[in-house]
C-alpha cells in the first residue's frame, strides 16, 4: 500500500517509531510521509550559532525562512514559527558571551517568548557563571509556568531582607522537579525559597557552603525553614560543595534535612580548599551517613591529599541500598573488603587516586558479593588484591584499569609476576594504562600477557609505554596490543629466557637475541621481564590511549 493511501493518523503512529534520520530519508523519497513526519521530527531545539537570540526571534530575519514550508503546526528548527505557534517544549542553548550579549537579558528574552517550555538548559561556553537575582528567577518561572527542569550556568545572588519577605507570596510550581545551578553565598535563603516554590522538587544541584559563620539573616531563615509544613519531602538527589571553613554550617544543614525525614537517594559531595589532612574531611563525609539507610548513589570528591582510610579511620556505616559508589579522594586508602561488607547491594564501584587493599584478616571471602562494575583510576594496588577481588566478586563482569600493580614476593625473594583473576569472566575489560612494579629492583614492567583459562592457547601480548612522570592526571600513556609478529618474537624471547632473567643472565646475554627476534627498541622493557594477567575469559578487550 502506498503511503498516500494511508490515513494521516496511521502515518503519524508509524513516524513515532522511526529515528530522526530515517524520517528525513522517507520525506526525501515520498512526499506523502511529509505531513506526519513534520509533526514528530523535531521536539528539542538546540541552537549552535553565534547569532544573538534577538535576531533568531526577529520575524523579518531572512536566515529563518529555510524551513517556513513546514507550517505552523510543526515542531521544526524554524524558531520564528515555533515562537508564534507555542509548540516548543525543550530548549538547550550554549552561548558564547561577549560584550554585546548579556546572558541575563538573553534568558529573559527567551522566557518572554517561549511560554510552553518545560525544560530549559542555558549555559555559557566559558563556564563562567552569570549572576541570577531573585527577580530574574521569579520572572523566569512566571513566564514559563510549565517548567519541570532548569539548568543554568548561573550563580544565585544573595537575597536582601526585602526579597526574603516576598517568598511567602511567590507562586508555587508543584510540577517542577530539577534545578541545576550554583547556589552560594547565603545558601539558606535560596533553600527556603526553593522549599516554598517547588514543594515537589526531586533534584537539586549545586548547594555551596562557603561561609565561616551563620549571620543573623541566615539564622532567621533557618527558623523560617523549620516552620514549613512539608519541606523537600520529594528531594532524592542533591549535590553539595563544602569549604573547610563552613564545615559546621553544612553539618547543621544535613541535620536539618534529617529532621524533615527527606528521602535522599543520591548525594554528591565536593570538599574544597581543605587545609587539614584528617579532621574536616572526615566530619564532612560522616555527615552524609545520616542518610545511610536510604542512599543508593554516593559520589565523594576531595582533591587535597588525605589520610583517610575507608573502613578504619573513617567509620563507614552500613549502606544496605547503595548500588553506585564513586570515591575521588587523593591518597586515600580504600579497604575494599570492608566497603563490600558494608554495602551488600553495591553494583558499581569507581575509585580514583589512592591505594586499594584487602585486610589480611578479612572474612568477606565467605560472602559472594554482587559487584559487577569496577573502575580503578590512578591507583596503586597489590597484585594479590586482584585474586581476592576475583574470589569474592563472582559476578564481576566489567573492569576499567588505570593503575600501578605492585607485584608480590615469593619465598627466596623471587618475584611473583602472576596476577590471577581466573574466577572472573569479563564481558568488557578496558585498559587505559597499566604497569607492574618489581618490588626488588623498583622498576616498572611494561610488557605483560593476557591469558584465558577457557582458551589456554590464546595469548595476548600488551605493551604499555610510560611517560617520564607516570600516573599523574594529565599524563599520557600508550597502551597497545602487540601485532602477531611482535607477539611471536616476544614469545620466543621469554621462552629462551624465562623469569627471573636477571638472576641468571647478564645484560649482554639478554640483549643478544633482540636482533634475532626483530625486537629493536624493546631492549629495556624486555630486560625487566614481563607479567602475566590471567582471567577466566574476555569477551571484549579495549585499549584507550
Domain ranges of the chain: 409-545
Q: Would you say residue 515 has pLDDT above 90? A: no
Bridge partners of residue 300, in order along the sequence: 269, 327
Higher-confidence residue of 149 and 43: namely 149
270-321 per-position pLDDT tens digit: 887 655 544 445 666 667 778 888 899 999 888 765 555 554 445 678 899 9
- At 58, the pLDDT band (50, 70, 90 cuts) reads low
Per-residue pLDDT tens over the stretch 143-187: 999 999 999 988 888 888 899 889 989 999 999 999 998 887 567
Q: How far is CA 346 from the centre of its chain?
A: 17
Instruction: For residue 367, give the C-alpha cell.
Output: 560472602
As a whole number of angstroms, the distance between CA 177 and CA 239 comes to: 15
Task: Provide φ and ψ at 239, rounded to 5°.
Answer: -120, 135
Question: pLDDT digits over 201-256, tens only?
Answer: 999 988 887 777 777 877 888 888 888 887 888 999 999 888 777 777 777 777 77
Query: C-alpha distances in angstroms, 43 versus 52, 57, 72, 89, 306?
Result: 22, 18, 14, 7, 47
What phi and psi values does residue 85 have, to the nearest 5 degrees?
-85, -15
pLDDT at residue 73, as a whole number: 37
pTM: 0.77
Helix, strand, coil shares, percent, the chain, to 5: 35, 30, 35
In the predicted structure, residue 453 carries a pLDDT above the cut 70: yes
Q: Residue 50: its pLDDT value, please?
A: 44
Closest CA to 396 of 358, 427, 430: 427
pLDDT at 37: 52
Tally of CB atoms within 10 A around 56: 18
Residue 45: pLDDT above 80?
Answer: no
Residues 122 and 53 sit within 8 Å (Cβ to Cβ) = no
Query: What average pLDDT does the chain have?
Result: 75
pLDDT in tens, 123-149: 888 767 888 889 999 999 999 999 999
Amino acid at each position: 500500500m502506498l503511503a498516500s493511501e494511508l490515513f494521516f493518523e496511521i502515518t503519524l503512529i508509524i513516524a513515532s517509531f522511526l529515528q530522526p534520520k530515517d524520517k528525513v530519508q522517507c520525506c526525501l523519497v515520498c512526499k506523502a510521509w511529509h505531513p506526519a513526519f513534520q509533526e514528530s521530527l523535531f521536539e528539542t531545539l538546540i541552537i549552535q550559532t553565534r547569532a544573538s537570540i534577538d535576531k533568531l526571534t526577529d520575524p523579518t530575519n531572512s536566515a529563518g525562512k529555510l524551513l517556513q514550508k513546514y507550517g505552523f503546526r510543526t515542531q521544526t528548527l524554524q524558531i520564528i514559527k515555533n515562537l508564534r505557534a507555542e509548540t516548543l517544549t525543550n530548549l538547550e542553548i550554549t552561548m558564547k558571551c561577549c560584550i554585546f550579549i548579556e546572558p541575563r537579558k538573553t534568558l529573559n528574552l527567551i522566557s518572554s517568548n517561549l511560554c510552553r517550555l518545560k525544560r530549559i538548559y542555558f549555559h555559557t561556553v566559558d563556564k563562567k557563571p552569570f549572576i541570577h537575582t531573585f527577580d530574574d528567577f521569579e520572572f523566569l518561572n512566571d513566564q514559563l509556568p510549565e517548567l519541570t527542569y532548569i539548568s543554568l550556568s548561573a550563580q544565585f545572588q544573595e537575597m536582601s531582607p526585602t526579597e526574603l519577605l516576598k517568598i511567602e507570596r511567590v507562586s508555587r510550581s508543584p510540577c517542577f522537579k530539577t534545578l541545576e545551578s550554583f547556589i552560594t553565598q547565603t545558601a539558606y535563603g535560596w533553600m527556603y525559597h526553593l522549599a516554598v516554590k517547588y514543594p515537589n522538587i526531586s533534584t537539586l544541584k549545586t548547594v555551596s557552603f562557603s561561609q565561616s559563620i551563620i549571620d543573623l539573616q541566615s539564622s532567621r531563615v533557618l527558623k523560617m525553614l523549620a516552620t514549613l509544613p512539608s519541606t523537600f519531602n520529594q528531594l532524592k538527589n542533591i549535590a553539595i560543595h563544602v569549604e573547610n571553613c563552613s564545615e559546621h554550617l553544612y553539618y547543621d544543614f544535613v541535620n536539618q534535612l534529617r529532621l524533615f525525614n527527606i528521602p535522599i537517594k543520591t548525594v554528591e559531595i565536593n570538599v574544597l580548599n581543605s587545609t587539614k589532612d584528617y579532621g574536616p574531611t572526615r566530619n564532612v563525609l560522616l555527615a552524609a551517613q545520616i542518610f545511610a539507610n536510604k542512599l543508593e548513589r554516593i559520589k565523594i570528591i576531595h582533591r587535597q591529599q588525605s589520610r583517610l582510610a575507608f573502613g578504619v579511620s573513617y567509620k563507614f556505616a552500613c549502606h544496605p541500598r547503595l548500588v553506585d559508589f564513586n570515591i575521588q579522594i587523593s591518597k586515600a586508602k580504600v579497604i575494599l573488603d570492608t566497603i563490600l561488607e558494608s554495602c551488600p547491594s553495591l553494583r558499581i564501584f569507581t575509585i580514583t587516586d589512592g591505594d586499594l587493599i584487602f585486610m589480611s584478616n578479612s572474612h568477606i571471602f565467605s560472602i559472594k558479593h554482587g559487584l559487577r562494575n569496577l573502575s580503578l583510576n590512578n591507583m596503586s594496588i597489590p597484585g594479590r588484591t586482584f585474586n581476592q577481588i576475583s574470589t569474592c566478586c563472582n559476578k564481576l563482569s566489567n573492569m576499567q584499569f588505570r593503575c600501578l600493580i605492585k607485584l608480590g614476593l615469593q619465598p627466596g625473594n623471587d618475584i611473583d609476576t602472576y596476577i590471577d583473576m581466573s574466577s572472573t569472566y569479563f564481558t568488557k575489560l578496558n585498559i587505559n594504562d597499566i604497569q607492574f612494579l618489581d618490588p626488588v629492583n623498583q622498576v616498572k614492567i611494561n610488557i605483560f600477557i593476557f591469558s584465558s583459562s577457557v582458551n589456554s592457547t590464546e595469548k595476548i601480548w600488551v605493551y604499555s609505554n610510560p611517560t617520564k612522570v607516570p600516573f599523574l592526571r594529565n599524563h599520557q600513556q600508550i597502551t597497545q596490543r602487540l601485532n602477531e609478529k611482535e607477539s611471536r618474537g616476544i614469545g620466543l624471547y621469554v621462552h629462551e629466557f624465562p623469569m627471573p632473567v636477571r638472576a641468571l643472565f647478564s645484560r649482554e646475554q639478554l640483549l643478544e637475541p633482540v636482533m634475532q627476534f626483530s625486537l629493536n627498541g624493546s631492549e629495556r622493557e624486555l630486560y625487566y621481564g614481563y607479567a602475566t594477567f590471567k582471567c577466566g575469559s574476555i569477551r571484549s578487550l579495549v585499549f584507550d590511549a
